Structure 1
């Protein structure tokens, strides 16, 4: 997959791949760009030891529908392309020396939805999952998963006033992750709109530090949604 990914398709930040203590792939939201996520999220991290790859969606959109809309053939095709882009981003960085056994996948909004789908549909490459304001794609028609993710640490967050991701859809996603046996931490922020708070940035910082050190994520509860 790495050969199919051009440098223009990704933004690289943080440590050089061969010197990184962890690999983070961060997926932007609808209508956003890797550069925006670099400024609003990655540059706020204290942890500078990770190599960060931010893939770029064609036209700034991973799929056209809302995440809570029923799955259609078009959404399914677009979703698969997004999952392939994550695979390619991981493979590209690992081919250049980034640690393939210490991968954290993170995202915001539509990027968080895509990250959740990747973790549940393509298990095995991740040690950490961080989803800021996301849910499963497809609403009630979402794809069921029997994945077992006992080695995965996951952090899911949302605001109770977010205009894009309903809380019930967010909690359904958390329950899906909890059923896999992942070590899960969930936070809901009262009054938080469509943004990423300092507390969420700190959670990603801790996740990267824990994965780099080979220890379970701080504050995670295995197999239970808080």
Structure 2
């Protein structure tokens, strides 16, 4: 099970009015994902990066039946819930909380926000989709109320089928997220400069 370990950096809470929750991928770390902030216009943000036990949020593919990834999956979702509660406790409003995840972290991020849909600042998923051997619609509730969401992926990707990305975008759009989906031919399992440029324009632009 995961213990709550959150690295906090960026602008001091109490001063920051916006926060970015950054979720690392399988084999990655909170420190790794925080490095991405150097490429984003988030100088005014408080940054929160939870750390997975053994650097993995859940043991098997995100396309495995969810019960086979338990209790790790529920524990990982609970860590994100705790992270959001920590952000809110600093006085930052939910509509000013942003999320960013890569790979396994993108899947976890999408799963969390779709189970807890509300008006967020924005959501960035670099290569990810909703979790499960199929889409479990009954798990998802709420209204994104126009939250901007970016999902980028390679076609093909060794871990994330493009069909799941399409299905995920459809679910989020149906819950009133403003989804931008970008499929890159043979990009590989990485984050491209084009994706960075797009999220800076669509998600982190000065409001």
TM-score for the superposition, normalised by structure 2:
0.88
- Which whole-Å CA distance do the structure 2 matches of 1:120 and 1:133 have between them? 16
Aligned to 2:181: 186
Aligned to 1:79: 73
- Which whole-Å CA distance do the structure 1 matches of 2:184 and 2:146 have between them? 27
- Which whole-Å CA distance do the structure 2 matches of 1:117 and 1:85 have between them? 13
Which of 91-100 and 103-112 deviates more? 91-100
Unmatched tracts of structure 1, length 5 or more: 214-226
Aligned to 2:131: 137
- Which whole-Å CA distance do the structure 1 matches of 2:122 and 2:30 have between them? 20
- Which whole-Å CA distance do the structure 2 matches of 1:25 and 1:178 have between them? 22
Candidates 182, 192, 199, aligned match of 1:197: 192
Candidates 42, 49, 66, aligned match of 1:54: 49
Matched, 1:17 2:13: yes
CA positional deviation for 1:79: 1.9
Pairwise CA RMSD of aligned residues? Answer: 2.0
- Which whole-Å CA distance do the structure 1 matches of 2:192 and 2:94 have between them? 28
Unmatched tracts of structure 2, length 5 or more: none
- Which whole-Å CA distance do the structure 1 matches of 2:87 and 2:142 have between them? 25
CA positional deviation for 1:20: 1.9
- Which whole-Å CA distance do the structure 1 matches of 2:63 and 2:122 have between them? 24
- SS at structure 2 position matched to 1:26: strand
Matched, 1:170 2:165: yes
CA positional deviation for 1:34: 0.9
CA positional deviation for 1:173: 1.1
Aligned to 1:94: 88
CA positional deviation for 1:158: 0.5
Equivalent pairs, count: 203
- Which whole-Å CA distance do the structure 2 matches of 1:148 and 1:89 have between them? 21
- SS at structure 1 position matched to 2:205: helix
Aligned to 1:158: 153
- Which whole-Å CA distance do the structure 1 matches of 2:29 and 2:100 have between them? 14
| Contact 1:103–1:125 (Cα < 8 Å) also in 2 | no
| Contact 1:68–1:169 (Cα < 8 Å) also in 2 | no
- Which whole-Å CA distance do the structure 1 matches of 2:95 and 2:200 have between them? 18
CA positional deviation for 1:204: 3.2
| Contact 1:160–1:192 (Cα < 8 Å) also in 2 | yes
- SS at structure 2 position matched to 1:139: coil
- Which whole-Å CA distance do the structure 1 matches of 2:162 and 2:71 have between them? 26
